[in-house]
Amino acid sequence: MNGLSPIRFPVPTIVWPRRMEQEETDLIEFELRQEPELVRQKEKSQPFLFAHQRDAFRELQRTALAFSQTKWWDLSIRPRFDRLLVAPTGTGKTHLVQALAEFLKWPFLSISASNWVLFGCPDRGGKQTWPLIASWLAGGNSFRLLFLDELDKVSGDDTWSRHLRTELYNLLDRTIPPGLQFDGSGDGEEHVIDAPKIRRTKSLYTLRFRTLILGGAAFQDAWEERRVKRAGFHLVDDPGEPPTHDDLTSHLPRELLNRFGPLVVMRPLAESDYEKLLAEAVRCIPDGLRENFLRIGRKAAPAACRDGKGARFIEEVLTNALIDTLPRKLQEKRQKSVRLSAG
């Protein structure tokens, strides 16, 4: 094993369902090479984040480091590391989680609940989601990050929503559907006896001991319910306090919410936040675009705040700056062409 001695990870005896006893035995027998210690936080470069994202990033960072650097698997009770990121649309939830995965150097998989294809459904509408997750899990035994976005869209009473919640419960409870088939392909295991069983064991091990799951949800209605409009001809939106855990139970079953640890919340952006977005983003803008970028952005900031554009506001400002700059660039090219012809 390349000079590295195998280690065995104990499996908690009170956490997993009784029907998983055989798989627990397989996990105990499954030997993995000892991995190098994670690079320390101070040795890694910080990703680009906007000011309103940094507190949430630090909280998720602390959770991820505790998940990967403490021997919690020796405990008889499994800690609840999974977190639910609650933030209105446009605040950059996906960017934040991607930045965390890049900082940690962990493999990253993002799945939207609205695009989830149920296990056992025909593949005509796309590949079933659980086999996709299982294949990703079987790809290695390193720590990894799984992001489940748009969880606020699975609250319906229709058949699809009920079955989807059941599959999400399985995932968050770290169980793989019993009927899920593994073909044994990959990792050079095609000709190994019991290769599907090996891949199933790898996937289950990685899911239970190596995968941090983060959920994302906008809960836009919950934010709207807490909106306060000040009196007067010019109404200013004040989001006030963020929605609480109890507020969210009217939008999502408590059974799902309680599978996550404490909420991580990013509030809606105020007009001053849009000014900060411009100030931070302009550092990434080429010199020839900066003047237009700032001029257009400052003019558009009040409307962006009113419409709740969020971080997408920067993309719109950059697009408009490019469009506004184009005629000047074309005019400069024409003038240069005329000078060359005259010369």
Q: To the nearest whole percent, how much of the chain has pLDDT over 90? A: 34
pLDDT category at 340 given cuts 50, 70, 90 is low
Asked if residues 216 and 146 have their Cβ atoms less than 8 Å apart, the reply is: no
pLDDT above 60: residue 275: yes
Instruction: Name the E strands within 18-104.
Output: 32-33, 83-86
Calpha distance 55→125 (Å, rounded): 38
**Mean of the pLDDT values across residues 142-168?**
92
pLDDT category at 89 given cuts 50, 70, 90 is confident
pLDDT of residue 102: 94
pLDDT above 50: residue 331: yes
Q: Which residue has the higher pLDDT, 109 or 273?
A: 109
Q: Which residue has the higher pLDDT, 63 or 222?
A: 63
pLDDT category at 43 given cuts 50, 70, 90 is very low
pLDDT of residue 343: 59
Q: Where is average pLDDT lowest: 44-53, 103-112, 199-208, 227-236? A: 227-236
Q: Where is average pLDDT lowest: 72-81, 94-103, 190-199? A: 190-199
pLDDT of residue 316: 93
Q: What is the pLDDT of the chain when averaged over all its residues?
A: 78
Asked if residues 220 and 155 have their Cβ atoms less than 8 Å apart, the reply is: no
Q: Where is average pLDDT lowest: 62-66, 193-197, 274-278, 308-312? A: 193-197
Model confidence pLDDT, tens digit, residues 100-148: 999 999 999 999 999 999 987 776 667 889 989 998 998 888 999 999 9
pLDDT above 50: residue 4: no
Calpha distance 27→23 (Å, rounded): 6
In Å, how far from its chain's centre is CA 282? 25
Residue 100 amino acid letter: L
3-class secondary structure, 68: helix
pLDDT of residue 137: 92
Model confidence pLDDT, tens digit, residues 280-302: 888 888 888 899 999 999 999 99
pLDDT of residue 219: 86
Q: To the nearest whole percent, how much of the chain has pLDDT over 70? A: 72
3-class secondary structure, 107: coil
**Mean of the pLDDT values across residues 41-53?**
67
pLDDT category at 332 given cuts 50, 70, 90 is low
Asked if residues 67 and 102 have their Cβ atoms less than 8 Å apart, the reply is: no
